[in-house]
Amino acid sequence: MNTHYWVVDEGVDNLCEHPQIKAAAQLLKDQQVVAFPTETVYGLGGNAQSDDAIDRVFQAKGRPSDNPLIVHIASRDLVYDYVSTVNKKAKQLMDAFWPGPLTIVFPHNGTLSTKVTAELPTVAIRMPDHPVALAILTEAALPVAAPSANTSGRPSPTTADHVFGDLDGKIAGIVNGGPTGVGVESTVIDCSGEVPMILRPGGLTKEKIERVVGPVDVDPSLIEEQEAPRSPGMKYTHYAPIAKVTLVEGTDSFFQRQIDKAKQEGLGVGVLVTEEKAGSFEGVTTVTCGTRDNLASVARGLYGALRQFDDHGEVDVIIAQVYPETDIGQAIMNRLRKAAANRIVVENEE
Ligand code: TXA
Ligand code: MG
């Protein structure tokens, strides 16, 4: 398949009138799949009312079809077209955080493809905060299911180049709107119970959510992930890069010892650290993501950094720093744990 490739300057006025946006929207109307930027990561969009389009999304990604997709809408009110009820807390969250990196799980009304919802009674919906995404959604005038636009099992794409590397030739189009701002996927929350529950930590922090709706729960299985994996390589490899990742928690000298150990085993060593530590290690491939005093910058750089190791080819193991689990640090650590299949070495536990 010949993949159309468009570059769109997100700063220009009247994006909907731009030929690139119109062409991308037309492909969606023709049940083709198109990658476009959102504020979190690039999404691979398909018409959420079309079984054919959704089949194409799953096929291009090589994603198992029992994993439901997030539906993207161009304005808040459109949610009522696809769900049966919007309760008070869900409404408060929509009003406070849409458009933005928050996905809300609602009971659906049966109007979307059952392939989007994986036959569940619920549907996950969000309104993205990106001018290019909103223009495409508006112009297509469709609900658009969009998982991250990566090959299943690779880190999510935060640039159009990442998408191109994974999906060129497999999808109808790629809209390049520059690097994404948040860098990790949206937070997924289910508001159907008495207390809302975060199902996936992401771009919108728990702290911000709680300021609007009061205390929320976190899916217990996310907390379990902090313990030893019961089945390494099964449940936790979703974001895994090619090299094996180990997270290291402890002092600088403990970190250095882990590097030395891996080198002695004859392994090609990669180190994933913040910029402050860029020049600190010898004989390894160092990749940085953001600065320690700015966790948002770490989130923004994380997936691109993991991809750099994949592209490098000579790295067998990646030794990575850990981050405080406050604010966006919760999403960072959730993704890093998955990338590491839960391998974490803690200094005082050695
Ligand atoms: O930031 C994002 O959310 C990106 C961009 C492209 O918008 N999209 C994204 O989609 O991350 P995806 O398909 O990679 O992730 C969908 C997540 C999965 O964790 C899935 O299990 C969950 O949402 N999900 C979808 N529908 C659900 C439902 N009905 N109930 C519970 N979880 C659901
Ligand atoms: Mg994904």
Return the structure tokens found at 115: 């392939």
Specify whether 29 is located in the same domain as 106. Answer: yes
Read off the CATH number of the domain in which 294 is found: 3.40.50.11030
pLDDT of the residue at 223:
62
Query: What pTM was estimated for this model as a whole?
Result: 0.95
Please tell me the distance between residue 278's alpha carbon and the centre of ligand 1 in angstroms: 34
Please tell me the distance between residue 303's alpha carbon and the centre of ligand 2 in angstroms: 11
Please tell me the distance between residue 183's alpha carbon and the centre of ligand 1 in angstroms: 15
192 falls within a domain: yes
**Contact by Cβ (8 Å): 87, 192:** yes
Which amino acid is located at 217 in the chain?
Answer: D
Specify whether 214 is located in the same domain as 324. Answer: no
- Rounded Cα distance between 52 and 80, Å, is 24
Domain termination residue (choose one: 170, 188, 222) = 222
Specify whether 215 is located in the same domain as 304. Answer: no
234 falls within a domain: no
What ligand is nearest to the CA atom of residue 127?
1
236 falls within a domain: no
Domain termination residue (choose one: 163, 192, 222) = 222
* Closest residue CA from atom 5 of ligand 1: 43
Q: Which structural domain range is residue 162 located in?
A: 4-222
Output the ligand 1 site: residues, CB below 6 A: 38, 40-41, 43, 67-70, 103, 105, 117, 120, 122-124, 128, 146-148, 185-186, 188, 199-200
Specify whether 180 is located in the same domain as 264. Answer: no
pLDDT digits (tens, 9 = 90+) for 198-257: 999 999 999 999 999 999 999 887 765 444 433 333 343 466 677 899 999 999 999 999
User: What is the position in ligand 1's atom list of the atom closest to the CA of 182?
Assistant: 1
Q: Give, in order, the Cα–Cα distances in Å from 114 to each of 29, 55, 60, 144, 215.
A: 18, 11, 18, 14, 32
Question: Which regions of the chain are under pLDDT 70?
Answer: 223-240, 350
Read off the CATH number of the domain in which 114 is found: 3.90.870.10
User: What is the position in ligand 1's atom list of the atom closest to the CA of 122?
Assistant: 29
SS (H, E, C) the chain: CCCEEEECCCCCCCHHHCHHHHHHHHHHHCCCCEEEECCCCEEEEEECCCHHHHHHHHHHHCCCCCCCCEEECCCHHHHHHCECCCCHHHHHHHHHHCCCCEEEEEEECCCCCHHHHCCCCEEEEECCCCHHHHHHHHHHCCCEECCECCCCCCCCCCCHHHHHHHHCCCCCEEEECCCCCCCCCCEEEECCCCCCEEEECCCCCHHHHHHHHCCCEECHHHHHCCCCCCCCCCCCCCCCCCCEEEEEECCHHHHHHHHHHHHHCCCCEEEEECHHHCCCCCCCEEEECCECCEHHHHHHHHHHHHHHHHHHCCCCEEEEECCCCCCCHHHHHHHHHHHCCCCEEEHHHC
Q: Which residues are CB-neighbours of 32 under 8 A, at least 6 positions away?
A: 46, 53, 56, 171, 172, 173
**Contact by Cβ (8 Å): 172, 32:** yes
Please tell me the distance between residue 133's alpha carbon and the centre of ligand 1 in angstroms: 16
Specify whether 218 is located in the same domain as 255. Answer: no
* Closest residue CA from atom 13 of ligand 1: 147
310 falls within a domain: yes
Determine phi and psi for 218, rounding to 5 degrees: -120, 135
Specify whether 184 is located in the same domain as 302. Answer: no
232 falls within a domain: no
* Closest residue CA from atom 8 of ligand 1: 147
**Contact by Cβ (8 Å): 199, 126:** no
Please tell me the distance between residue 321's alpha carbon and the centre of ligand 1 in angstroms: 27
What ligand is nearest to the CA atom of residue 146?
1
Question: What number of CA atoms fall less than 13 Å from residue 342's CA on the CB side?
Answer: 15
Specify whether 187 is located in the same domain as 293. Answer: no
Determine phi and psi for 246, rounding to 5 degrees: -125, 130
Specify whether 216 is located in the same domain as 105. Answer: yes
- Rounded Cα distance between 238 and 297, Å, is 22
User: What is the position in ligand 1's atom list of the atom closest to the CA of 203?
Assistant: 1
Specify whether 269 is located in the same domain as 208. Answer: no
pLDDT of the residue at 226:
46
239 falls within a domain: no
**Smallest Cα–Cα separation from 237: which of 341, 82, 88, 109?**
341
Specify whether 172 is located in the same domain as 50. Answer: yes
How many domains does one find in the chain?
A: 2
Specify whether 217 is located in the same domain as 304. Answer: no
Specify whether 283 is located in the same domain as 326. Answer: yes
User: What is the position in ligand 1's atom list of the atom closest to the CA of 108?
Assistant: 29
Return the structure tokens found at 62: 């090589």
